[in-house]
A and B are shown apart, each in its own frame.
Chain A
Amino acid sequence: MAPQQRKPHVCRNPDLIRGVGKYSRSKMYHKRGLWAIKAKNGGAFPKHEKQAVAAAPSEKPPKFYPADDVKKPLVNKRKARPTKLRASITPGTVLIILAGRFKGKRVVFLKQLTSGLLLVTGPFKINGVPLRRVNQSYVIATSTKVDISGVNVEKFDDKYFGKKVEKKKKKGEGEFFEAEKEEKNTLPQDKKDDQKSVDAALIQSIEAVPDLKSYLGARFSLKAGMKPHELVF
Protein backbone atom coordinates (compact mmCIF):
# COMPACT_ATOMS: atom_id res chain seq x y z
CA MET A 1 0.00 0.00 0.00
CA ALA A 2 1.10 3.57 -0.57
CA PRO A 3 2.78 5.34 2.37
CA GLN A 4 0.14 6.44 4.86
CA GLN A 5 -1.33 9.75 3.83
CA ARG A 6 -1.27 12.22 6.66
CA LYS A 7 -3.73 15.04 6.33
CA PRO A 8 -1.66 18.18 5.81
CA HIS A 9 -1.57 20.01 9.15
CA VAL A 10 -3.36 23.34 9.16
CA CYS A 11 -1.20 26.15 10.54
CA ARG A 12 -1.74 26.63 14.29
CA ASN A 13 -1.08 30.34 14.10
CA PRO A 14 -2.69 31.77 10.98
CA ASP A 15 -1.47 35.13 9.69
CA LEU A 16 -3.61 38.19 10.23
CA ILE A 17 -1.29 40.11 7.96
CA ARG A 18 2.10 39.03 6.79
CA GLY A 19 4.32 39.03 9.83
CA VAL A 20 1.55 39.19 12.44
CA GLY A 21 0.06 35.99 13.77
CA LYS A 22 -3.36 35.63 15.26
CA TYR A 23 -2.18 34.32 18.61
CA SER A 24 0.24 35.85 21.07
CA ARG A 25 3.33 34.12 22.41
CA SER A 26 1.62 32.99 25.55
CA LYS A 27 -1.38 31.69 23.67
CA MET A 28 0.90 29.79 21.31
CA TYR A 29 2.77 28.29 24.25
CA HIS A 30 -0.50 26.98 25.46
CA LYS A 31 -1.64 25.77 22.02
CA ARG A 32 1.54 23.86 21.36
CA GLY A 33 1.06 22.02 24.58
CA LEU A 34 4.51 22.85 25.87
CA TRP A 35 3.05 22.93 29.38
CA ALA A 36 1.92 19.34 28.96
CA ILE A 37 5.26 18.20 27.57
CA LYS A 38 7.05 19.87 30.49
CA ALA A 39 4.68 18.32 32.98
CA LYS A 40 5.31 14.88 31.53
CA ASN A 41 9.03 15.42 31.84
CA GLY A 42 8.96 16.66 35.43
CA GLY A 43 9.01 20.41 35.04
CA ALA A 44 11.65 20.96 32.38
CA PHE A 45 11.61 20.60 28.66
CA PRO A 46 13.06 17.20 27.62
CA LYS A 47 16.60 17.47 26.32
CA HIS A 48 18.66 15.15 24.24
CA GLU A 49 22.32 14.66 24.90
CA LYS A 50 24.44 16.15 22.19
CA GLN A 51 25.66 13.43 19.89
CA ALA A 52 29.40 13.26 19.75
CA VAL A 53 30.48 14.71 16.47
CA ALA A 54 32.90 12.38 14.70
CA ALA A 55 36.12 14.32 14.21
CA ALA A 56 36.40 15.28 10.55
CA PRO A 57 39.58 13.94 8.96
CA SER A 58 42.11 16.75 9.25
CA GLU A 59 42.47 18.48 5.93
CA LYS A 60 45.89 19.48 4.83
CA PRO A 61 46.12 23.09 3.75
CA PRO A 62 46.23 23.18 -0.06
CA LYS A 63 49.63 23.46 -1.73
CA PHE A 64 48.47 26.02 -4.19
CA TYR A 65 46.12 28.96 -4.00
CA PRO A 66 45.15 30.54 -7.30
CA ALA A 67 46.33 34.15 -7.64
CA ASP A 68 42.91 35.57 -8.48
CA ASP A 69 39.62 34.49 -7.04
CA VAL A 70 38.01 31.88 -9.19
CA LYS A 71 34.33 32.49 -9.78
CA LYS A 72 32.04 29.57 -9.13
CA PRO A 73 29.61 28.98 -11.97
CA LEU A 74 25.97 29.50 -11.12
CA VAL A 75 23.86 26.50 -10.28
CA ASN A 76 22.01 25.17 -13.34
CA LYS A 77 19.23 22.71 -12.57
CA ARG A 78 17.81 22.56 -16.08
CA LYS A 79 17.26 19.15 -17.57
CA ALA A 80 17.72 18.43 -21.24
CA ARG A 81 14.39 17.47 -22.78
CA PRO A 82 13.38 16.85 -26.37
CA THR A 83 11.84 19.92 -27.99
CA LYS A 84 8.21 20.38 -27.15
CA LEU A 85 6.19 18.95 -30.00
CA ARG A 86 3.53 21.21 -31.46
CA ALA A 87 0.03 20.00 -30.69
CA SER A 88 -0.76 19.90 -34.38
CA ILE A 89 1.96 17.30 -35.04
CA THR A 90 0.86 13.76 -34.17
CA PRO A 91 2.11 10.46 -35.62
CA GLY A 92 0.71 10.16 -39.11
CA THR A 93 0.41 13.88 -39.79
CA VAL A 94 1.35 15.06 -43.25
CA LEU A 95 4.05 17.71 -42.93
CA ILE A 96 5.35 20.18 -45.51
CA ILE A 97 9.14 20.51 -45.41
CA LEU A 98 10.22 24.09 -45.89
CA ALA A 99 13.97 24.01 -46.33
CA GLY A 100 16.73 21.84 -47.57
CA ARG A 101 16.91 19.40 -50.42
CA PHE A 102 13.30 18.35 -50.04
CA LYS A 103 11.70 21.74 -49.65
CA GLY A 104 8.05 21.77 -50.55
CA LYS A 105 7.71 18.01 -50.22
CA ARG A 106 4.73 16.65 -48.37
CA VAL A 107 5.87 13.97 -46.04
CA VAL A 108 4.49 11.65 -43.34
CA PHE A 109 5.55 12.16 -39.71
CA LEU A 110 6.44 9.01 -37.81
CA LYS A 111 7.74 9.94 -34.40
CA GLN A 112 9.84 12.40 -32.44
CA LEU A 113 13.34 11.23 -31.58
CA THR A 114 15.03 11.86 -28.26
CA SER A 115 17.12 14.65 -29.77
CA GLY A 116 13.88 16.50 -30.54
CA LEU A 117 14.10 16.03 -34.30
CA LEU A 118 11.16 14.56 -36.16
CA LEU A 119 11.47 11.19 -37.89
CA VAL A 120 9.84 11.45 -41.26
CA THR A 121 9.43 9.37 -44.40
CA GLY A 122 8.21 10.20 -47.92
CA PRO A 123 7.29 7.35 -48.38
CA PHE A 124 10.31 6.90 -50.58
CA LYS A 125 8.43 5.30 -53.46
CA ILE A 126 5.95 8.15 -53.60
CA ASN A 127 8.09 11.24 -53.39
CA GLY A 128 11.73 10.24 -52.95
CA VAL A 129 12.06 11.33 -49.35
CA PRO A 130 13.76 8.54 -47.37
CA LEU A 131 13.60 7.92 -43.62
CA ARG A 132 14.99 11.20 -42.48
CA ARG A 133 15.28 13.51 -39.53
CA VAL A 134 13.80 16.97 -39.81
CA ASN A 135 13.67 19.91 -37.44
CA GLN A 136 10.26 20.94 -36.22
CA SER A 137 10.93 24.59 -37.02
CA TYR A 138 11.31 23.89 -40.71
CA VAL A 139 8.02 22.19 -41.11
CA ILE A 140 4.38 23.15 -41.59
CA ALA A 141 1.94 20.70 -40.08
CA THR A 142 -1.16 20.12 -42.18
CA SER A 143 -4.35 18.79 -40.71
CA THR A 144 -4.26 15.73 -42.98
CA LYS A 145 -3.52 12.53 -41.08
CA VAL A 146 -2.44 9.15 -42.40
CA ASP A 147 -3.17 5.93 -40.57
CA ILE A 148 0.16 4.85 -39.16
CA SER A 149 -0.88 1.93 -36.99
CA GLY A 150 0.71 -0.74 -39.15
CA VAL A 151 4.16 0.78 -38.99
CA ASN A 152 6.85 -0.18 -36.47
CA VAL A 153 9.28 2.63 -35.79
CA GLU A 154 10.76 1.35 -32.54
CA LYS A 155 14.20 0.65 -33.92
CA PHE A 156 14.92 4.13 -35.25
CA ASP A 157 16.77 6.55 -33.05
CA ASP A 158 19.37 9.25 -33.43
CA LYS A 159 22.24 6.78 -33.50
CA TYR A 160 20.76 5.12 -36.58
CA PHE A 161 21.19 8.39 -38.42
CA GLY A 162 24.59 9.32 -37.08
CA LYS A 163 27.62 9.54 -39.30
CA LYS A 164 29.51 6.28 -39.57
CA VAL A 165 32.94 6.48 -37.91
CA GLU A 166 35.56 5.59 -40.50
CA LYS A 167 38.63 3.68 -39.61
CA LYS A 168 41.70 5.82 -39.96
CA LYS A 169 43.44 5.08 -43.20
CA LYS A 170 46.99 5.88 -43.99
CA LYS A 171 47.33 8.73 -46.41
CA GLY A 172 48.62 7.25 -49.61
CA GLU A 173 47.65 9.71 -52.34
CA GLY A 174 46.35 7.24 -54.91
CA GLU A 175 44.49 5.20 -52.32
CA PHE A 176 42.95 8.29 -50.74
CA PHE A 177 40.88 9.32 -53.74
CA GLU A 178 39.68 5.84 -54.59
CA ALA A 179 38.63 5.09 -51.07
CA GLU A 180 36.54 8.27 -50.79
CA LYS A 181 34.61 7.53 -53.93
CA GLU A 182 33.68 4.04 -52.87
CA GLU A 183 32.28 4.94 -49.49
CA LYS A 184 30.12 7.83 -50.59
CA ASN A 185 28.07 6.05 -53.19
CA THR A 186 26.54 3.01 -51.57
CA LEU A 187 23.76 3.02 -49.03
CA PRO A 188 23.97 -0.12 -46.89
CA GLN A 189 21.41 -2.75 -47.84
CA ASP A 190 19.90 -2.97 -44.37
CA LYS A 191 18.91 0.70 -44.51
CA LYS A 192 17.20 0.09 -47.81
CA ASP A 193 15.35 -2.83 -46.27
CA ASP A 194 14.28 -0.70 -43.32
CA GLN A 195 12.89 1.88 -45.73
CA LYS A 196 10.95 -0.78 -47.59
CA SER A 197 9.46 -2.32 -44.49
CA VAL A 198 8.33 1.03 -43.08
CA ASP A 199 6.90 2.13 -46.38
CA ALA A 200 5.04 -1.09 -47.16
CA ALA A 201 2.43 -0.63 -44.45
CA LEU A 202 2.30 3.11 -45.00
CA ILE A 203 1.67 2.90 -48.72
CA GLN A 204 -1.25 0.57 -48.10
CA SER A 205 -2.97 3.02 -45.81
CA ILE A 206 -2.16 5.88 -48.18
CA GLU A 207 -3.72 4.15 -51.16
CA ALA A 208 -6.88 3.66 -49.15
CA VAL A 209 -7.53 7.41 -49.35
CA PRO A 210 -8.33 8.72 -52.86
CA ASP A 211 -5.86 11.26 -54.25
CA LEU A 212 -3.62 11.07 -51.20
CA LYS A 213 -0.85 9.35 -53.15
CA SER A 214 -0.67 12.04 -55.80
CA TYR A 215 -0.96 14.65 -53.05
CA LEU A 216 2.12 13.31 -51.33
CA GLY A 217 3.92 13.10 -54.65
CA ALA A 218 3.32 16.76 -55.46
CA ARG A 219 5.36 19.60 -54.03
CA PHE A 220 3.77 22.49 -52.19
CA SER A 221 4.27 25.99 -53.55
CA LEU A 222 2.73 29.39 -52.99
CA LYS A 223 0.70 30.54 -55.94
CA ALA A 224 -0.59 33.99 -56.79
CA GLY A 225 -3.15 35.22 -54.29
CA MET A 226 -2.24 32.75 -51.56
CA LYS A 227 -1.62 34.50 -48.27
CA PRO A 228 0.24 32.19 -45.89
CA HIS A 229 -1.12 33.89 -42.80
CA GLU A 230 -4.67 33.32 -44.02
CA LEU A 231 -4.24 29.80 -45.34
CA VAL A 232 -5.62 26.94 -43.34
CA PHE A 233 -3.22 24.04 -43.48
Chain B
Amino acid sequence: MPFKRYVEIGRIALVNYGKDYGKLVVIVDVIYQNRALVDAPDMVRGQMNFKRLTLTDIKIDIKRVPNKKTLIAAMEAADVKSKWENSSWGRKLIVQKKRASLNDFDRFKVMLAKIKKAGVVRQELAKLKKETA
Protein backbone atom coordinates (compact mmCIF):
# COMPACT_ATOMS: atom_id res chain seq x y z
CA MET B 1 0.00 0.00 0.00
CA PRO B 2 1.43 3.40 -0.84
CA PHE B 3 1.98 6.00 1.85
CA LYS B 4 -0.71 8.61 2.17
CA ARG B 5 0.58 10.91 4.92
CA TYR B 6 3.95 12.45 4.15
CA VAL B 7 6.34 14.41 6.25
CA GLU B 8 6.24 17.82 4.63
CA ILE B 9 6.34 21.38 5.71
CA GLY B 10 2.94 22.19 7.07
CA ARG B 11 2.00 18.65 8.07
CA ILE B 12 0.16 18.55 11.39
CA ALA B 13 1.38 15.84 13.74
CA LEU B 14 0.38 14.59 17.15
CA VAL B 15 3.12 14.30 19.75
CA ASN B 16 3.03 10.81 21.22
CA TYR B 17 5.87 10.89 23.73
CA GLY B 18 7.48 13.27 26.10
CA LYS B 19 6.72 16.56 27.75
CA ASP B 20 4.34 17.74 25.02
CA TYR B 21 2.39 14.50 24.88
CA GLY B 22 -0.97 14.90 23.18
CA LYS B 23 -0.28 18.24 21.52
CA LEU B 24 -0.88 19.02 17.88
CA VAL B 25 2.22 20.50 16.27
CA VAL B 26 3.13 21.69 12.80
CA ILE B 27 6.27 20.45 11.06
CA VAL B 28 7.96 23.65 9.93
CA ASP B 29 11.28 22.27 8.78
CA VAL B 30 13.19 19.02 8.45
CA ILE B 31 16.55 19.08 10.19
CA TYR B 32 17.88 15.83 8.94
CA GLN B 33 16.81 12.25 8.49
CA ASN B 34 15.48 11.77 12.00
CA ARG B 35 14.57 15.18 13.32
CA ALA B 36 12.14 17.88 12.47
CA LEU B 37 11.62 21.42 13.61
CA VAL B 38 8.13 21.68 15.04
CA ASP B 39 6.05 24.59 16.16
CA ALA B 40 2.66 25.12 17.75
CA PRO B 41 0.78 28.24 18.79
CA ASP B 42 1.33 27.58 22.49
CA MET B 43 4.89 26.31 22.52
CA VAL B 44 8.38 27.50 21.71
CA ARG B 45 9.56 26.27 18.33
CA GLY B 46 11.94 23.34 18.82
CA GLN B 47 13.27 20.12 17.41
CA MET B 48 11.69 16.72 17.80
CA ASN B 49 12.57 13.25 16.63
CA PHE B 50 10.13 11.86 14.10
CA LYS B 51 9.64 8.91 16.36
CA ARG B 52 7.86 11.20 18.78
CA LEU B 53 5.38 12.31 16.15
CA THR B 54 2.38 10.63 14.63
CA LEU B 55 1.33 12.20 11.35
CA THR B 56 -2.25 13.25 10.81
CA ASP B 57 -4.23 13.91 7.65
CA ILE B 58 -4.25 17.64 8.18
CA LYS B 59 -1.87 19.90 6.25
CA ILE B 60 -1.58 23.65 6.25
CA ASP B 61 -0.09 25.98 3.68
CA ILE B 62 3.07 27.58 5.02
CA LYS B 63 6.54 28.40 3.83
CA ARG B 64 9.62 26.91 5.53
CA VAL B 65 9.92 28.15 9.14
CA PRO B 66 7.30 30.87 9.29
CA ASN B 67 7.20 33.27 12.20
CA LYS B 68 4.66 32.67 14.93
CA LYS B 69 2.17 35.22 13.66
CA THR B 70 2.11 33.73 10.15
CA LEU B 71 1.87 30.27 11.57
CA ILE B 72 -1.13 31.12 13.70
CA ALA B 73 -2.80 32.89 10.78
CA ALA B 74 -2.25 29.88 8.52
CA MET B 75 -3.68 27.56 11.15
CA GLU B 76 -6.74 29.73 11.48
CA ALA B 77 -7.16 29.84 7.73
CA ALA B 78 -7.02 26.07 7.42
CA ASP B 79 -9.22 25.74 10.51
CA VAL B 80 -7.05 23.02 12.00
CA LYS B 81 -8.81 23.01 15.34
CA SER B 82 -12.30 22.22 14.10
CA LYS B 83 -11.00 19.77 11.48
CA TRP B 84 -9.20 17.91 14.22
CA GLU B 85 -12.10 17.96 16.64
CA ASN B 86 -14.47 16.67 14.00
CA SER B 87 -12.23 13.90 12.77
CA SER B 88 -12.88 10.49 14.27
CA TRP B 89 -9.35 10.35 15.71
CA GLY B 90 -9.76 13.73 17.36
CA ARG B 91 -13.14 12.85 18.75
CA LYS B 92 -11.81 9.60 20.20
CA LEU B 93 -9.10 11.50 22.07
CA ILE B 94 -11.62 13.97 23.42
CA VAL B 95 -13.81 11.14 24.67
CA GLN B 96 -10.82 9.42 26.27
CA LYS B 97 -9.90 12.62 28.08
CA LYS B 98 -13.44 13.14 29.26
CA ARG B 99 -13.69 9.59 30.57
CA ALA B 100 -10.41 9.91 32.44
CA SER B 101 -11.58 13.05 34.17
CA LEU B 102 -14.88 11.64 35.37
CA ASN B 103 -15.66 11.92 39.04
CA ASP B 104 -16.96 8.91 41.00
CA PHE B 105 -20.42 10.49 40.98
CA ASP B 106 -20.15 11.11 37.24
CA ARG B 107 -19.28 7.50 36.64
CA PHE B 108 -22.36 6.49 38.60
CA LYS B 109 -24.54 8.78 36.51
CA VAL B 110 -23.04 7.37 33.33
CA MET B 111 -23.85 3.88 34.55
CA LEU B 112 -27.48 4.86 35.18
CA ALA B 113 -27.70 6.43 31.73
CA LYS B 114 -26.29 3.33 30.08
CA ILE B 115 -28.79 1.11 31.84
CA LYS B 116 -31.63 3.40 30.84
CA LYS B 117 -30.53 3.46 27.22
CA ALA B 118 -30.15 -0.31 27.14
CA GLY B 119 -33.64 -0.64 28.58
CA VAL B 120 -35.16 1.53 25.89
CA VAL B 121 -33.30 -0.35 23.15
CA ARG B 122 -34.41 -3.65 24.52
CA GLN B 123 -38.02 -2.52 24.62
CA GLU B 124 -37.89 -1.48 20.99
CA LEU B 125 -36.26 -4.75 20.04
CA ALA B 126 -38.94 -6.70 21.86
CA LYS B 127 -41.60 -4.73 20.03
CA LEU B 128 -40.03 -5.44 16.68
CA LYS B 129 -39.64 -9.09 17.51
CA LYS B 130 -43.29 -9.32 18.41
CA GLU B 131 -44.30 -7.76 15.11
CA THR B 132 -42.30 -10.16 13.01
CA ALA B 133 -43.21 -13.21 15.07
Interface set of A (CB-CB < 8 Å, partner B):
94, 96, 106, 142-144, 211-212, 214-215, 218, 220, 230-233
Whole-angstrom distance between the alpha carbons of A10 and B44 in the complex? 48
Q: Is the CB of B108 within 8 A of A218?
A: yes
Main secondary structure on A side of the interface with B: mixed
B103 within 8 A of A: yes
Q: Is the CB of A232 within 8 A of B103?
A: yes
Q: Is the CB of B109 within 8 A of A144?
A: no
B42 within 8 A of A: no
Q: Which of B102, B105, B109 has the most CB of A within 10 A?
A: B105
Whole-angstrom distance between the alpha carbons of A94 and B108 in the complex? 13
Which of A215, A230, A232 is the one whose CB lies under 8 Å from B108?
Answer: A215
Q: A144-B105, A232-B101, A232-B103 are in contact. List 12 more A-B contacts (CB 8 A).
A: A94-B104, A94-B105, A96-B104, A106-B104, A142-B103, A142-B105, A143-B103, A144-B103, A214-B112, A215-B105, A218-B108, A233-B104
Residues of B within 8 A of A212 (CB): 105
B interface residues, how many (CB within 8 angstroms) = 9
Which of B100, B104, B105 is the one whose CB lies under 8 Å from A230?
Answer: B100
Chain A residue with Cβ nearest B108: A215
Chain B residue with Cβ nearest A233: B104
Q: Is the CB of A211 within 8 A of B102?
A: no
Residues of B within 8 A of A144 (CB): 103-105
Main secondary structure on B side of the interface with A: helix
Chain A residue with Cβ nearest B112: A211
Residues of A within 8 A of B112 (CB): 211, 214
Whole-angstrom distance between the alpha carbons of A96 and B108 in the complex? 13
Q: Is the CB of B108 within 8 A of A211?
A: yes
Residues of B within 8 A of A231 (CB): 104
CB distance from A126 to the nearest CB of B (A): 14
Q: Which of B101, B104, B108 has the most CB of A within 10 A?
A: B104
Whole-angstrom distance between the alpha carbons of A215 and B100 in the complex? 20
Whole-angstrom distance between the alpha carbons of A212 and B108 in the complex? 9
Whole-angstrom distance between the alpha carbons of A84 and B109 in the complex? 32
Within 8 A of A (CB), among B98-120: 100-105, 108-109, 112
Listed by A's residue number, 15 A-B pairs whose Cβ atoms lie within 8 Å are A94-B104, A142-B103, A142-B104, A143-B104, A144-B104, A212-B105, A214-B108, A214-B112, A215-B105, A215-B109, A218-B108, A230-B100, A232-B101, A233-B103, A233-B104
Whole-angstrom distance between the alpha carbons of A215 and B103 in the complex? 12
CB distance from A219 to the nearest CB of B (A): 11
Chain A residue with Cβ nearest B101: A232
- Given A211-B112, A214-B112, CB of A232 within 8 Å of CB of B100: yes
Residues of A within 8 A of B103 (CB): 142-144, 232-233
Residues of B within 8 A of A94 (CB): 104-105
Whole-angstrom distance between the alpha carbons of A230 and B97 in the complex? 12
Whole-angstrom distance between the alpha carbons of A143 and B108 in the complex? 13
Residues of A within 8 A of B109 (CB): 211, 215
Whole-angstrom distance between the alpha carbons of A220 and B103 in the complex? 13
Q: Is the CB of B105 within 8 A of A232?
A: no
Q: Is the CB of A220 within 8 A of B105?
A: no
Chain A residue with Cβ nearest B113: A211
CB distance from B22 to the nearest CB of A (A): 15
